[in-house]
Structure 1
Amino acid sequence: MKFTLSWLRDHLDTSASLDGIVGALTRIGLEVEGVENPAEKLGAFTIARVLTAERHPQADKLQVLSVDTGAGEPVQVVCGAPNARAGLVGVFGAPGTYVPGSDLTLKVAAIRGVESKGMMCSMRELQLSDAHEGIIELAEDAPVGTAFADFAGLNDPVIDVAITPNRQDCMGVRGIARDLAAAGLGTLKPLDVPVIAGGFPCPVEIRTDDPAGCPAFHGRVVRGVVNGASPEWLAKRLTAVGQRPISVLVDITNYVMLDHGRPLHVYDVAKLEGALVARKARAGEQVEALNGKTYALAETMTVIADDAAVHDIGGIMGGEHSGVTEATTDVLIECAYFDPEGIARTGQALGLASDARTRFERGVDPAFLHQGLAIATRLVLDLAGGEASAAVVAGTAPVIERTIHFDPALTARLGGLAVPADRQAAILKRLGFAVAESSDGHSLSVTTPSWRRDVEGAADLVEEVIRIEGIDAIPSVPLPRAEGVAVPTATPAQLLERRVRRAAASRGLNEAVTWSFLSESEAAAFGGGAWTLANPISEELKVMRPSLLPGLLAAARRNADRGASEIRLFEIGRRYAADAEHPTLGFVLVGDRSARDWRQGKATGFDAHDARAEAVALLAAAGAPADRLQVMAAVSGVYHPGRSASLRLGAKTVLAEFGELHPATLKAFGLAGPVMAGEIFLDAIPGKRASGRMRPAYAPPALQPVTRDFAFLIAADRPADDLVRAVRGADKAAIVDARLFDMFTGTGVPEGEKSLAVEVVLQPSDKSFTESDLTAIAGRIVKAAEKVGARLRG
């Protein structure tokens, strides 16, 4: 919500400084996102007069101007504006001046061989409007040499305030002024609501046939209007807050919306046929909106239509057909109340956002229909002329005024701030609440104003008092501490996440925090989402993530686009399946390893073995039995078949998936492969985990271990992990480790088989192995290998 300081002072009688107002806004819960003063960026531009204008010797469309800047000798300026001429008074930028509309800094330059020492500027170059047909023309008596910003009255700061969804009353400048007055920064000026006596009956029938979607519809016709450009004060005010002036009739509706938080719409009466009715859309109906797009309407949507067609998506956007133009002479002003929930559903279904929707779906003041119509009518009569008809009132607005029994002592109990009862009553009255003393003499009877639909109970009143009194006035009180040693507060799940987070960081992975929401297309790449939001922030954040990898891949793409050569990211969060949400650690490896590979003497890309190493290490840190993990095929289809796997305890307990992502997955996220990734399913890890608070005592063996290598022939399609696990279990007392260190196919290996070389580490306990001991162990290893279809290679 943007407004200028002068606009605020139309409603607030105050002597407070800009800094005082900005500080008070944030203090009372209306967070100021920014303050911008147009005069600051235009401070270097001055008023100048063109003394002479001669044709450029090398270009027909350029002129060489002699310009009096009021700073001494005239300066020479080359100009291409068609309206440049001797005697014109305009705006001059000297060399060294930054031009905001062109994003350049002026300097002395030769243009077609003629030196130019500055620029005569257009409105667009100063970001005052889109006009760029020629340079600015000021009145002939404009003082040459004066700062243009001061002359044009641009020294009017624009304040940008973030309005939370519950504060619909502050979606207009008057509501913000009311809050500031309640905070003691001045006095709220009385609202001037004109009395418009209609000169003739309204010639257009107005009614509502949809009391649920549009409970009240007020309107009137003004005939004999002239729809030209808005006066300078109105156009300047709208431009300052980011609105583009269109025509005086349209600008009036936008002005009333921003001034009072009351959206309106105007129709060209000549384009209407029969009655103007608020009703539900009918099957097959569609409308071309003012944004130029055509929308198919559902039968649940409220529309404004005449006897021939739909003209308005009720409360969201008007239609192109019945919009006003320069030829419009008779208009109908619509001031209606629309159901907030219905507006939200319609806007979401159509994917259509507008300033009107933002206000209606939060809930505009239902008691401000008559006043809003009268204020808009007076502006139309004053700025566009004409004669107004009698107002038509169709339906009844749902004005809800709750009466709340309020004990002022509740403010200290809930808010921690003691405020005298009379002070609380005064604050609530200044905010528009009706306050009376209850019969018991100790409490208050508080009636909510029509514009505060968010206040439902006594706790809401405490919030109002505290924010106006000042949250920073609440004293800091330490929580009481129990005697003795503090009891641990972290849960086992939190401790587990803490351990794996530290383990991932120690392995060189960088932690990322991404959205828990995805677009439907991103979720589809991972099998689709089971949870879809009914009212998402946007269509890009509609589905709860089925995996942590989409967010990490998007982050990896952004880093890769910025030139990162090695990307190692991880995240701990929740993924959302149909049954529940599951704590998970996800990681991605993209690019080249930073360390050079000793075999090739250069950096090499990540492969599936790197992903496995990360997955095993993180599972070990989580307390999973890393020595008993089984390697099986990956479950998810997002991985490349044959270059991915899962780590399990038994056939059904999947602890992790890892490997190279499928090319189709990468294409969906705009990444070039290969990309390695993995997910650790933290809630699948067995419950009896090491606490991580104490390491076991280090007890090195007394005797040296013995290493033996074995080469086996096994079916080519048999997983190597089957053989390694069989070898490791051949003699659990003597064998402490077994690992695959080579795989070979080709000459000497039968077709359909592969040769696997396994290194076995044997650890003697109380005495060294004899040759017969080693022979016996080797025999057990060979027998164990035979059970999985392997035989010792000769």
Structure 2
Amino acid sequence: MKFSLSWLRTHLTTDASLGQIAETLNNIGLEVEGIEDRGAALAPFVIARVIEAVPHPNADRLRVCRVDSGSGEVGVVCGAPNARTGMTTVFAPPGAYIPGSGITLKIGEIRGVASAGMLVSAREMALGEDHDGIVDLPGDAPVGTPYAAWAGLDDPVIEISVTPNRGDALAVRGIARDLAAAGLGTLTPWNAPAINGTGASAIRWQDDFTEACPWILGRTVRGVRNGESPAWLKQRLESVGLRPINALADITNFFTIDLGRPLHVFDVNKISGGALTVRRGAGERFRGLHGKDVNVTSDDCVIADAAGVQSLAGIVGGEATGCDEATTDVFIECALFDRVAIALSGQRSGIFSDARQRFERGIDVSLLPAALDAATAMVIALCGGEVSAITEAGAEPAWQRQASLRFERLQSFGRSDVTPDRAVGILGALGFGIAARDAAGVTVDVPPWRNDVASAGFSAGSTLDQHEDLDPDLATAVRQGARAIEPEADLIEEVLRIEGLDRIVPVSLPPLATVPTPSLTPRQARSVRARRVLAARGMAECVTFSFVDRATAARFGATPDTLTVANPIAADLDQMRPSPLATIARAAATNAARGFDDLALFEIGPGFRDETPAGQDLIAAGLRSGATPLSWIAASRNVDAFDAKADAFAVLQEIGVPLEALQVSATAPGHYHPGRAGTIKQGPKTTIGSFGELHPSLCAALDLPAGSVGFEIDLGAIADPKRRRKSAPDISPLQPLRRDFAFVVDAGVAAEAVLRAAKSAERGLITDVTLFDRYAGDKLPAGKVSLAIAVTLQPKDKSLTDSEIEAVSAKIVASVSKATNATLRG
């Protein structure tokens, strides 16, 4: 929000300096983002008259000028071709800084002639690019007067940051009200002039969309003369970055900034049918005043005549009915549009305008008649004309509400020494009417321009119960947010910020515990460690969207309608993903299409089973395709299911899951290749992951390289480890020994069952059991395979004798035979 100092002073009577105003704005929560003060840089520059200009005796292109600066005559050597006797121009004395050239003037000599100052061009004053000659001012410009003051450049422009809840601060008057409440002056009384129109308006209103426009006014002014705005109005608009257009358009822009009250003007002679209708859009297109086409939907509020849509209500007007120099009859619109409806239309259209910004943050609900009269009065003053009676549709909504403040809550929340009298005075200065007061607190009437202060269950300026047809989810969210408002907290905030946010006493945080608590939860720690180990295994991390197209999602799991995105950012991102493997598979396919077949990608993110919080899983997923080297000395080979299993088990080992307690079954979800995939369980019932080669049909559908493999680990399904005191490591000084066994088992027996049975034979001695060979062939009976295992024995107290080793070996054979019906291979 930008405003000039002179504009502010039309609403605030104050002698405060620019610095005091800026400091107070910061202290009351209206943060100053910048101040542009061109007058300060041009302070030394004064209007001067060239008494005489003669050629330089030693230079053909220079002139020696005698200059009257208002405080005496000085000699200046000037190279401007337009320097001449009798002209009025701008003089910079010695010591002045020239902003356009970055130099500071000194008294000196130029080609043997003394020069004390400089006659300057517009570019040298940083006021434009004109450098053909020195500034040529009208002859009646007062000599000796500071140029910035004469040219109206001594009016600093302040820019503040306005938070979304403070729609009233998007008006110069609203800012002046805050400053006056902070004690920086007096708010100037404002009353709109009473305008008594005669005759009916040439245009009448019809409101067929009261949910989005509960109240709208307008009137006709006939016989206007539209043209260029007066200098003061153009200067006001230019100071805040608005381009003057014509008097009628400039008047509406003026009140948008001055009172925070957007208006619009229609050329009566360009309106068809003698009426304007507020209604829903119907898929029409019209050219907006911003020079672009606007497409409207049935959810948008539009203003239309018999010929079609002429305005996207509250956001942008239409070019077809805009006012220009030929306009003679004008219709002034002053409306109240619903905040939610404007916000939704603004999002759909992508149009950002000053009107939209104010409507969606909330305007003064009761200001419509006064604002219409004020705008009408300015139209008559600048353009003339005869005024009609007001035409309106709808009615002023009930905005009256109250809020209460307990003084002890003010003390306990703000730790401030604000007295009850001071608190009540601040609220009164901000426009809150004092309805009741006692020793404990005060009840106030909330003014209509403070939409951010509401009673419980009320959000001013928005008829939320009528918004289900626009966007049910958003309307429900806004309604619930309104009910959660605590108006007392809003009043506390108002008192504390006007008293000065810098005066709130800082309170130290409580001391930390001697032993700090862990900074990460077990779930967060698992994510960090899983990410680290996968990256260390040469996989590249992806961060993808949590939604894919429905067809792809269906290949990786269920796709209930409750997980369909109502407003997707793209048509192919309309379903929440069952697993991150779905989105990294699409990323892998994109890379493969560009010639990068050898991939190793992973992502740790959410997968969705249903719409509830419990239905969201944290999953570590990875995918490999193409060839991969076993090590830096090994040849490359194509990846297989065991590479995916190795990745999955590396994650589980890193996050502290005991691998010996895991069970792997040959079943897997449908997106894996049957017979080349497995499911990992922790205990008989808890499934924590899956791995394997991806199904050929899946690879073909997604254009993945054939034979791609993947894994998924549900990090949330893993039980948190019990906190145990770590004991000293039990490291034996004795050398371990290894014994190999080959067992003949049925082909359907899992190797894991053999390993588990062998390890359980003598837990005190056996520290590791691994499978190192599997054989199936003509040397074995049909339906049989040979599984060779290596068993590591680690003695602790003494070396094992041959008989002890044989006894342990016999236990191993007996345990495996009992568990799997295996026989020792000869």
Alignment TM-score, normalising by the size of structure 1: 0.68
Q: Which amino acid aligns with 1:167?
A: R
Residue 492 of structure 2 is aligned to residue 462 of structure 1: yes
Q: Structure 1 residues 38 and 621, CA, compared in 2 at 3 Å: closer, same or farther? A: farther
Q: Structure 1 residues 140 and 588, CA, compared in 2 at 3 Å: closer, same or farther? A: farther
Aligned to 2:729: 698
Aligned to 1:53: none
Q: For residues 550 and 290 of structure 1, what CA distance do their matches in structure 2 show? A: 46
Alignment of structure 1 residues 58-97 onto 2, 5 Å: 72=77, 74=79
Indicate if the aligned counterparts of 2:523 and 2:716 stay in contact, CA closer than 8 A: no
Deviation at 1:253, TM superposition (A): 2.1
Q: Structure 1 residues 140 and 443, CA, compared in 2 at 3 Å: closer, same or farther? A: closer
Indicate if the aligned counterparts of 1:530 and 1:546 stay in contact, CA closer than 8 A: no
Deviation at 1:308, TM superposition (A): 3.5
CA-to-partner distance for each residue in 1:290-336, whole Å, 9 max, x for gaps? 452342431x5433222342322322332333223443332211001
Aligned to 1:684: 717
Aligned to 1:599: 633
CA RMSD, 1 decimal: 6.5
CA-to-partner distance for each residue in 1:514-553, whole Å, 9 max, x for gaps? 9999696699976789568989999999998877799999
Deviation at 1:219, TM superposition (A): 1.0
Secondary structure, in 3 states, of the residue corresponding to 1:262?
coil
Alignment of structure 1 residues 439-588 onto 2, 5 Å: 443-455=441-453, 456=455, 457-477=487-507, 495-497=521-523, 499-500=525-526, 503=529, 577-581=610-614, 582=616, 584=618
Deviation at 1:652, TM superposition (A): 6.7
Indicate if the aligned counterparts of 1:404 and 1:445 stay in contact, CA closer than 8 A: yes
Q: For residues 745 and 235 of structure 2, what CA distance do their matches in structure 1 show? A: 83
Secondary structure, in 3 states, of the residue corresponding to 2:340?
helix
Q: Structure 1 residues 395 and 722, CA, compared in 2 at 3 Å: closer, same or farther? A: same
CA-to-partner distance for each residue in 1:742-776, whole Å, 9 max, x for gaps? 9999xx99xxx999997654434665374645765
Aligned residue pairs total: 706
Residue 755 of structure 2 is aligned to residue 727 of structure 1: yes
Q: Structure 1 residues 185 and 297, CA, compared in 2 at 3 Å: closer, same or farther? A: same
CA-to-partner distance for each residue in 1:418-459, whole Å, 9 max, x for gaps? 421111111001101112554x56543411111113322333
Deviation at 1:682, TM superposition (A): 3.7
2:657 to 624, 629, 645: 624
Q: For residues 535 and 343 of structure 2, what CA distance do their matches in structure 1 show? A: 42
Q: Structure 1 residues 20 and 518, CA, compared in 2 at 3 Å: closer, same or farther? A: farther
Q: For residues 261 and 710 of structure 1, what CA distance do their matches in structure 2 show? A: 88
Structure 1: gaps (5+ residues): 50-64, 77-86, 99-118, 557-565
CA-to-partner distance for each residue in 1:678-726, whole Å, 9 max, x for gaps? 8754431125x232x732331123533334678999999x9xx964564
CA-to-partner distance for each residue in 1:78-125, whole Å, 9 max, x for gaps? xxxxxxxxx999999999969xxxxxxxxxxxxxxxxxxxx99999x9
Alignment of structure 1 residues 409-424 onto 2, 5 Å: 409-424=408-423
Indicate if the aligned counterparts of 1:168 and 1:363 stay in contact, CA closer than 8 A: yes
CA-to-partner distance for each residue in 1:597-623, whole Å, 9 max, x for gaps? 743899x99999998777655544654
Q: Which amino acid aligns with 2:755?
A: V
Q: Which one has the largest radius of gyration? A: 2
Q: Structure 1 residues 704 and 236, CA, compared in 2 at 3 Å: closer, same or farther? A: farther
Indicate if the aligned counterparts of 1:38 and 1:157 stay in contact, CA closer than 8 A: yes
Residue 352 of structure 2 is aligned to residue 319 of structure 1: no
Alignment of structure 1 residues 329-348 onto 2, 5 Å: 329-348=328-347
Q: Which amino acid aligns with 1:446?
A: V
Aligned to 2:400: 401
Q: Structure 1 residues 423 and 773, CA, compared in 2 at 3 Å: closer, same or farther? A: same
Q: Structure 1 residues 690 and 312, CA, compared in 2 at 3 Å: closer, same or farther? A: same
Alignment of structure 1 residues 24-43 onto 2, 5 Å: 24-32=24-32, 34-37=33-36, 39=38
Of all paired residues, the percent bearing the same amino acid is 39
Q: Structure 1 residues 448 and 186, CA, compared in 2 at 3 Å: closer, same or farther? A: same
Aligned to 2:461: none
Deviation at 1:43, TM superposition (A): 8.3
Q: For residues 68 and 399 of structure 1, what CA distance do their matches in structure 2 show? A: 74
Structure 2: gaps (5+ residues): 49-59, 66-75, 82-86, 103-119, 456-486, 589-598
Residue 21 of structure 2 is aligned to residue 21 of structure 1: yes
Q: Structure 1 residues 620 and 358, CA, compared in 2 at 3 Å: closer, same or farther? A: farther
Q: Structure 1 residues 496 and 785, CA, compared in 2 at 3 Å: closer, same or farther? A: same
CA-to-partner distance for each residue in 1:348-407, whole Å, 9 max, x for gaps? 555555432332233211111122222323333444444433333433211422234544
Alignment TM-score, normalising by the size of structure 2: 0.65
Indicate if the aligned counterparts of 1:589 and 1:606 stay in contact, CA closer than 8 A: no
Q: For residues 385 and 515 of structure 1, what CA distance do their matches in structure 2 show? A: 66
Q: For residues 552 and 133 of structure 2, what CA distance do their matches in structure 1 show? A: 54
Q: For residues 819 and 578 of structure 2, what CA distance do their matches in structure 1 show? A: 40
Alignment of structure 1 residues 188-337 onto 2, 5 Å: 188-191=187-190, 193-198=192-197, 201-231=200-230, 233-281=232-280, 287-291=286-290, 292-298=292-298, 301-337=300-336
Alignment of structure 1 residues 125-164 onto 2, 5 Å: 139-141=136-138, 153=152, 157-164=156-163
Q: Which amino acid aligns with 1:454?
A: D
Q: Structure 1 residues 44 and 435, CA, compared in 2 at 3 Å: closer, same or farther? A: closer
Aligned to 2:427: 428
Indicate if the aligned counterparts of 1:416 and 1:474 stay in contact, CA closer than 8 A: yes
Indicate if the aligned counterparts of 1:90 and 1:136 stay in contact, CA closer than 8 A: no
Indicate if the aligned counterparts of 2:342 and 2:360 stay in contact, CA closer than 8 A: yes
